[in-house]
Structure 1
C-alpha cells in the first residue's frame, strides 16, 4: 500500500515556536504536551503530521495491543510483564511512532476502549477492545479543535496523559493499561478557549498567527507548490536535513537524563512564577523540564540562560490570570518580567 507523501518538517517556513514546542515534547514527553492556538491556515496540522516522519522507529513486542516496550517495565502491559516473569520469549519488531487523531465526535468507549461483558460472563475471559488511548501509547495523540471537544473527554485525556495509565471499569471488571503519549491540541481562539483549569494541564502553549511578511508568504507558497508538483523530488531534496534532525532528537533523548540545572536558575524560574502570580507549581516544573530538554537539543549537559529564555513564555503564557483591563498580551507580560529579572541578576 503506497503511503501519501508528507511535507517535510525541516522544510516548514516560520512558526518556530510551534516547531520547538513539538520537538521539546518529543525529547521529554513528561513536559505534558502542547496546546497550539492560532488562526486557520497557519500550518498547525501540517506541522504536527510532519513531525512523525523525523521520529526514529520504536521497538515493540509483536502482537501486543499496547505497543509495549520490550525492556522498560513502565511502558509494558501486564500481559508482557507476565510473559517476562514466566521467562517466555518475546518477539520484537520496530514500528513508526504511532500518531492517533481523536475526532470531535468520539465517544468515551472509542477513547478508552471497551470490555466485552458477554465473553467475561460466559467464558470467564477478560476481553478488551483497545481504544485510541491504547493505540497512542508511546506516540502522539492529536486533537484538532480541542476547544470544541466535550469537557468530559478532555478530562479523561488529561488524566491519562498525566498518569500514563488508562483504566476501564465495567460491572466490577477492571482493565488497566499504559497510556504514555504526547498530547497535542490545536484550536482557533475565535471558536472559544479551554477552561483555565484544563488549559493549565497542557505543558506548553504556543500562540501562532498568520505570517504578515510578504516575502515570507511568497516563500511558503513556493515551497508548497514545489512539493505538490513533485513530492518525491522535493522529499529527496530535504532528506539530509530530515535525517540530521532525526539524529539530533535521538541524541537529545539519550543526553536528557544527564542534563542539570543550577540552583540559581531554579530560583529565578520560581521567582518569576511567583511574581506573575501563577497558581500552583506546574509552571515551575514545566519550565525546568522544558529548559533541560532545550539544553539537550543543543547538545549541552548544563542549562544556560538562553534555554530558559526560549521556553519560559511557552511554559507560562496559558497559566497567567486574565486581566480584563490589561491591553498587554500575556507573552509580552512574561517577556517584561523576564527582562526585569535577569537585569537584577548578579
Structure 2
C-alpha cells in the first residue's frame, strides 16, 4: 500500500472504467503500435475522455531513459535517441540510465509554437558558438502520450506541426540558419466535443483512429459509473488496490502484444479486401488502408494470435475509416453504419 501512496497523484484505474469500449480499445491498440497514428476521441461532455486517457498512461510499465537527456532517449534504439546520445555511444562513452513513468504531456489550448516545438537561443549561438536548445512539449512527449483536449479549438498550424511530428517521429526547429532535430515519437490523442466544431477533413484524416463517445443512456449502467467514481473519490488508494490484479493483467497483455507484434502476419487476400473496402467507400489516399492493416495486426496480437483473420478486421475497421468519409467540411462524421454495410458485403 505504501508504494501506491508514493504516487504524486492518484489516477483512476483504467480497468475500473465502465463502458466506452470503443475509446478504450483504440487507446490500447495505439499503445501496442504507436505507428497506427494516434486517436481522435469525439464525444459528449462529461463522458470520461480525459479520465480514460490519463488512466492508460498510468497503466503502462516504466521505460528506461538516458539520464541528463532532454528527450527521454532510448539506450539502444537509434530512432528514439537524440544526436547527443548517439555521439556518446559511438565514442564508447558509458551512458547512465534510469526508469521513469511513461510521459503524459498535456498541450494547453493557449500554447505557442515555441512552447510546442522548443526554441533556439540565438544570442548564445552567435556569442559563444554553442547550439543552446530549450526543449518544448514535443521533446517531453518522446516515447509517451501527447494529449490535446479540445483539439478542434487548437490553431490549425499547431495541429499541422503536431501531426507532422507524430507521423515522422522527429521534430525539427530552424531559426536564423541554425537547425536542431530531435526524436519525438508519441501516441497523439486528441479529444473534443462535436458541438464546438469539427476538425477539417484534411487534419482528421491524419489521425489513425476515430472513436465516438456517447453518453450512457442505460440507468443501471449510469448508477454503476457514478458509484465507481464516488468510491474512488472517497478512497482513491483503496480503489487502486482493489483493481491492482486487473491492472497488472492488462499491463502484461499489452507487453505481450508489443513483443508479439512483429511476428503477426496478415494474409494477402485479406489485404486486398481491406483495400477493396477503402475503394468502395471512396476513401482518399492510402492512409486508410495502411492504418487498417496496422490496427488489425495490433488487435490480433492483443488477442494472442500470430495471424489476422476477418473478425479481427471487422472489430477495428470502423475506427480506422469512419472519419475518412467526409469530403465536405460541413458534413457530419458518419457514425459507422456506412462502413459496416460495405464491410459486411465484402468481408464474408
What TM-score bracket applies, with the shorter chain setting the length? over 0.9
Deviation at 1:322, TM superposition (A): 4.9
Paired residues in the alignment total 343
2:191 to 186, 190, 201: 186
Partner of 2:141: 136
The superposition leaves residues 270-326 of structure 1 with CA deviations (integer Å, 9 ceiling, x where unpaired) of: 010000011000000000000000001011000011210111000000000358999
Give the Cα–Cα distance (whole angstroms) in 2 for the partners of residues 133 and 159 of structure 1. Answer: 11
> Match of 2:92, SS?
coil
1:254 correspondence with 2:259: yes
Q: Which runs of 5+ in 1 are unaligned?
A: none
Say if 1:317 and 1:327 are closer, same or farther in 2 by CA, change over 3 A. closer
1:42 correspondence with 2:63: no
Partner of 1:306: 311
Report the aligned-residue RMSD: 1.6
Partner of 1:232: 237
The superposition leaves residues 35-54 of structure 1 with CA deviations (integer Å, 9 ceiling, x where unpaired) of: 00000000000000001121
Partner of 1:279: 284
1:73 correspondence with 2:95: no
Partner of 2:210: 205
Q: How does 1:211-230 map to 2 (within 5 A)?
A: 211-230=216-235
> Match of 1:246, SS?
helix
Say if 1:2 and 1:330 are closer, same or farther in 2 by CA, change over 3 A. closer
Give the Cα–Cα distance (whole angstroms) in 1 for the partners of residues 176 and 237 of structure 2. Answer: 53
Q: Is the 8 A contact 2:201 2:327 kept in 1?
A: no
Give the Cα–Cα distance (whole angstroms) in 1 for the partners of residues 252 and 45 of structure 2. Answer: 32
Q: How does 1:13-32 map to 2 (within 5 A)?
A: 13-32=18-37
Give the Cα–Cα distance (whole angstroms) in 1 for the partners of residues 308 and 206 of structure 2. Answer: 24
Q: Is the 8 A contact 2:40 2:189 kept in 1?
A: yes
Deviation at 1:342, TM superposition (A): 2.3
Q: Which moved more, 1:315-324 or 1:217-226?
A: 315-324
1:292 to 288, 291, 297: 297
TM-score of the two chains, using structure 1 as the length reference: 0.97
TM-score of the two chains, using structure 2 as the length reference: 0.96
Partner of 1:159: 164
Partner of 2:9: 4
Give the Cα–Cα distance (whole angstroms) in 2 for the partners of residues 210 and 103 of structure 1. Answer: 25
> Match of 1:267, SS?
helix
Q: Is the 8 A contact 2:323 2:334 kept in 1?
A: no
Q: Which runs of 5+ in 2 are unaligned?
A: 1-5
Deviation at 1:92, TM superposition (A): 1.2
Partner of 2:93: 88
Say if 1:116 and 1:267 are closer, same or farther in 2 by CA, change over 3 A. same
Q: Is the 8 A contact 2:322 2:333 kept in 1?
A: no
